[in-house]
């Protein structure tokens, strides 16, 4: 962050500098070059996606252009007006939100138990929680598909949300436990002595203390659920079809609709970027506390 600022700063004020300052300015610039290159490499794919989303199919396929010659927002309009497109986003957001809420609600008490109590096999259980994360989601696609079909959950939002909790709850417990361990047990006891019931203590005193942990956990749950494609595609057909699945099914008789697909990609990045922006401080704290 500071590097970028420094670069912008040196860029605007070089002209007005004295000779001595210009010499030191040269050093800053060499750093800026590295930073620029780094950002360029990082941003090239994203730029190209945005670039494509603003071109017509014709331009994408016929010429190589670094920026759109015929700027068009038609691709975005297609997405915002065609229900089969925008419902993909709505479906994704619905099950991702459900999944994040369920994961955190379930993981909070579990993580509390792991951080505060010793019980038979707690250490083993804590470790083996993570084994679900060791298997690729594809392994579970078949059993989930069969199970959900037979109980009538197939093609519902909750089906995808529940399937994702299999992966997110263990991770959420693992992350939250690390944060909760950092809260001294004496705070719990002081609260009980003061007269707090467990529920009231947990909501009013304990949750604010692990707020950054909850933020980080929510971020990881969101991210996993948002980008996970295989399970969400397998478990849905029409009513709960996620955007990622919609994007893979755009091959029509007339070929691939490149521009719309690129626009959909840009719109898919935005929620993730927004979430990262809001929890960035928490994540930094989470890294400092370990366990992320």
Partner 1 sequence: MTLELDGVTKVVGGRTHIHPTDLRLEAGTMNVLLGPTLAGKTSLMRLMAGLDVPTEGRVLWRGEDVTGMRVQDRKVAMVYQQFINYPSMTVYENIASPLRLMGQSRDEIDAAVRKTADLMKLTPMLDRRPLELSGGQQQRCALGRALVKDAGLVLLDEPLANLDYKLREELRAEIPRIFEEAGSIFVYATTEPEEALLLGGNTATLWEGRVTQFGPTPAVYRKPADATTARVFSDPPMNFLDLTKSGRTLTFADGRTEEATDRLETLADGTYMAGFRPNHLSLEPLAGNSLTFRCTLEVTEITGSETFVHLDHEGTRWVGLAHGVRHLELGREMDVHLDPAHIYIFGEDGDLVAPAAYAAAA
Site residues, partner 1 (CB under 8 A): 184, 186-187, 189-197, 205, 208-209
The least CB distance from residue 118 to partner 1, in Å, is: 10
In angstroms, what is the minimal distance from the CB of 190 to partner 1?
A: 5
Residue with Cβ nearer partner 1 (176 or 191): 191
Query: Residue 197 Cβ, how far from partner 1 at the closest point, in Å?
Result: 7
Q: Which is nearer to partner 1, 152 or 199 (CB)?
A: 199
| DSSP per residue, the chain | -HHHHHHHHHHHHGGG--HHHHHHHHHHHHHHHHHHHHHHHHHHHHHHHHHHHTS-HHHHHH---SS-SS---HHHHHHHH-HHHHHHHHHHHHHHHHHHHHHHHHHHHHHHHHHH---TTHHHHHHHTTHHHHS-HHHHHHHHHHHHHHHT-TT-HHHHHHHHHHHHHHHHHHHHHHHHHTS-HHHHHHHHHHT--HHHIIIIIIHHHTHHHHHHHHHHHHHHHHH--HHHHHT-SSTT--HHHHHHT--BTTB--HHHHHHHHHHHHHHHHHHHHHHHHHHHHHHHTS--
Cβ nearer to partner 1, comparing 121 with 136: 121
The nearer residue to partner 1, 83 or 195, going by C-beta atoms, is 195
In the complex, what is the shortest distance from the CB of residue 204 to partner 1, in angstroms, rounded to a whole number?
8
Judged by beta carbon, residue 5 or residue 186, the one nearer partner 1 is 186
- Least Å distance, CB 217 to partner 1, is 18
């Amino acid at each position: 962050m500071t590097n970028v600022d420094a670069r912008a700063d040196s860029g605007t004020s070089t002209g007005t500098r004295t000779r001595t300052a210009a010499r030191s300015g040269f050093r800053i610039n060499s750093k800026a070059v590295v930073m620029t290159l780094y950002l360029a490499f990082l941003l090239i794919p994203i730029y190209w996606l945005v670039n494509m989303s603003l071109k017509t199919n014709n331009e994408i396929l016929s010429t190589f252009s670094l920026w759109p010659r015929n700027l068009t927002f038609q691709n975005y309009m297609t997405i915002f007006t065609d229900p089969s497109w925008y419902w993909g986003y709505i479906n994704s957001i619905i099950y991702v939100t459900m999944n994040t809420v369920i994961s955190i609600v379930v993981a909070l008490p579990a993580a509390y138990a792991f951080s505060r109590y010793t019980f038979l096999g707690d250490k083993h259980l804590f470790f083996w929680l993570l084994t679900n994360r060791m298997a690729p989601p594809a392994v579970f696609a078949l059993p989930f598909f069969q199970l959900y079909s037979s109980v009538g959950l197939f093609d519902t939002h909750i089906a995808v949300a529940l399937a994702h909790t299999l992966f997110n709850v263990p991770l959420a417990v693992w992350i939250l436990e690390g944060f909760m361990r950092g809260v001294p047990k004496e705070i719990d006891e002081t609260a009980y002595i003061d007269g707090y019931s467990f529920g009231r203590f947990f909501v009013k005193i304990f949750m604010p203390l692990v707020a950054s942990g909850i933020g980080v956990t929510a971020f990881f749950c969101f991210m996993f659920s948002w980008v996970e494609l295989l399970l969400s595609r397998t478990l849905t057909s029409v009513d709960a079809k996620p955007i990622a699945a919609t994007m893979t099914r755009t091959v029509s008789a007339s070929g691939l609709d490149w521009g719309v697909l690129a626009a959909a990609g840009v719109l898919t990045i935005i929620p993730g970027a927004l979430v990262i922006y809001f929890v960035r401080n928490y994540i930094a704290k989470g890294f400092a506390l370990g366990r992320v």
